[in-house]
Chains A and B, each alone.
Chain A
């Protein structure tokens, strides 16, 4: 199971975390590696952690981050410097102590028999797909990745995907690497080849919506990881709702991964900022 609350063996808890490294990996993007003790072994692909970014009362709220990779007791999260919280994070050095809540949310669902999976990442949407790529590859599943970014210097996690995927197709808006244009042109061509069992999608909501529609046309089951502003992160405050065919659901608790079919895209919000 990929939900922390769907079984009783792994309950969400507050865990101490110590920064191991904090590196800039692309324009405005950092990868933060933390030692989080036994939390690292409890995270399933697509789940997230709710990270304390300030010691005092300002900025007040934790910040949610999908776990990009785990290794031993370490977890990696990707972040883009967008606001006060992520700016503070970008200044952290090795040894910095903080805490995080996890594991949280429902991650990617992996059907019983997947022979070929399509992973679609737009920009920082690569974050929740890293662990998934590693886990699928370890199970012997063939992976194709469509990776998009505005420009070559903002491509994220290309090495990880190339190490685990049969094929990685890159698209940049300005053509500085791979196909010129949006990644949705790449996915359209890939889906036309027709041998995918499932698509896993994360990125700007407009991209996710288009890929979801392409998958629906191609008859490929599609899951999307959605981002919302969150307060509690544990399902209580109803800040992060997503409009679905069965009412408003919580991105933090019922998601962040949703079946694309159930998402009502028209009700989507303007992009969140940290």
Chain B
């Protein structure tokens, strides 16, 4: 008799029915995907970044396709936390799925104020603190590329909530493990990575950049090897769960991230190509484990068999 695979994982105090989440900014608040996906089958829905006041986002063009990837400079366009609570969270909380709200701000005080307002509401299950968006001038990545400001934002949010706090890290740093240690010391229960890699594309016919903002964040399969490397480094550097993402398109990609040390994974760009990519990965992960007699998906985490020289590559 075949036993069902135990797909449950824990991220801090948060219990997930499986390790598959959505990556912030690619799934709105889930509503647009409800035609394609039974959201209750996901490990968690991570919402688009929410700020204290409405943000307009950047000028168009906001995306450019690149080899096996996309550059985007959306710029965290969102209606602000009040409208988010009223329109999005109210709807999402009717679905039986953990909701992780991605929190953005221009200042430490704004991040904390968003968490405070969401705590008053009480329907978010956890928070992901976005200190890694490359597409805004103030806030975002400016907080996430040095240890002190990264820690300051996380500490300020930590002071507002006892719920699971996840810090989303930028790959646009020299040593991601330093930032990871700083945010964990400041009270983060988990880290998620990677956000997009800062990039650029040029149209040689018009001599113009292909993004209005010139530079933007690269996502998709093109960045997977970089993401995987950073997840592996980070999982070896901190004692909290790591949520791995960056170019995951299918279950085998997800397995790679878990073997490298991720406790859970998130799909972003894949949703644009296959709106039901998340549930396919849920099914595929279960099938991967079942075929190999692996009883618990959580046992994949960090199960990478690395050679004797592995530590020399680290750092």
Contacts and interface: CB of A to CB of B under 8 A. Distances in A.
Interface of A: 11-14, 52, 57-62, 101, 228-241, 247-248, 253, 267, 269-270, 272-273
B220 A57 contact: yes
A239 B56 contact: no
Contacts of A237: 25-26, 28, 63, 72, 74, 272
Contacts of A267: 59-60
B57 A248 contact: yes
B91 interface: no
B33 A231 contact: no
Contacts of B25: 237
A61 B70 contact: yes
B273 A236 contact: no
A271 B77 CA distance: 22
B77 A231 contact: no
A62 B60 contact: no
B61 A236 contact: no
Given A232-B275, A253-B32, A60 B69 contact: yes
B224 to A, nearest CB: 10
A273 B26 CA distance: 22
A236 B28 contact: yes
Contacts of B59: 267, 269
A253 B31 CA distance: 12
Nearest to B276: A14
A4 to B, nearest CB: 9
A233 B35 CA distance: 13
A248 B69 contact: no
10 contacts: A12-B36, A13-B35, A57-B220, A228-B61, A233-B272, A236-B26, A237-B72, A238-B77, A241-B62, A248-B56
B33 A238 contact: no
Name which of B70, B74, B271, B272 has the most chain A CB atoms within 10 A of its CB. B272
A13 B32 contact: no
Nearest to A234: B32
Given A60-B69, A235-B32, A270-B61, A241 B273 contact: no
Interface residues of B, number: 38
Contacts of A101: 275
B275 A234 contact: yes
Contacts of B77: 238, 241, 248
Contact of A239 (B62, B67, B276): B62
Contact of A60 (B33, B36, B65, B212): B65
A236 B221 contact: no
A13 B65 contact: no
B68 A58 contact: yes
Contact of B57 (A57, A60, A241): A241
Contact of B206 (A228, A234, A270): A270
A118 B121 CA distance: 51
A228 B60 contact: yes
Given A236-B32, A248-B56, A58 B67 contact: yes
B70 A60 contact: yes
Given A60-B68, A232-B272, A13 B61 contact: no
B233 interface: no
Given A11-B35, A241-B60, A236 B70 contact: no
Contacts of B27: 236
A10 to B, nearest CB: 10
Nearest to A83: B65
Contact of A229 (B26, B32, B63, B221): B63
A258 B236 CA distance: 52
Nearest to A101: B275
B275 A61 contact: no
Interface string B12-39: 0000000000000111100011011000
Given A12-B35, A241-B62, A253-B32, A236 B271 contact: yes
Given A57-B220, A57-B221, A238-B74, A232 B61 contact: no
B208 interface: yes
Contacts of A14: 36, 274-276
B273 A60 contact: yes
B269 interface: yes
Interface in B37-93: 56-57, 59-65, 67-70, 72, 74, 77
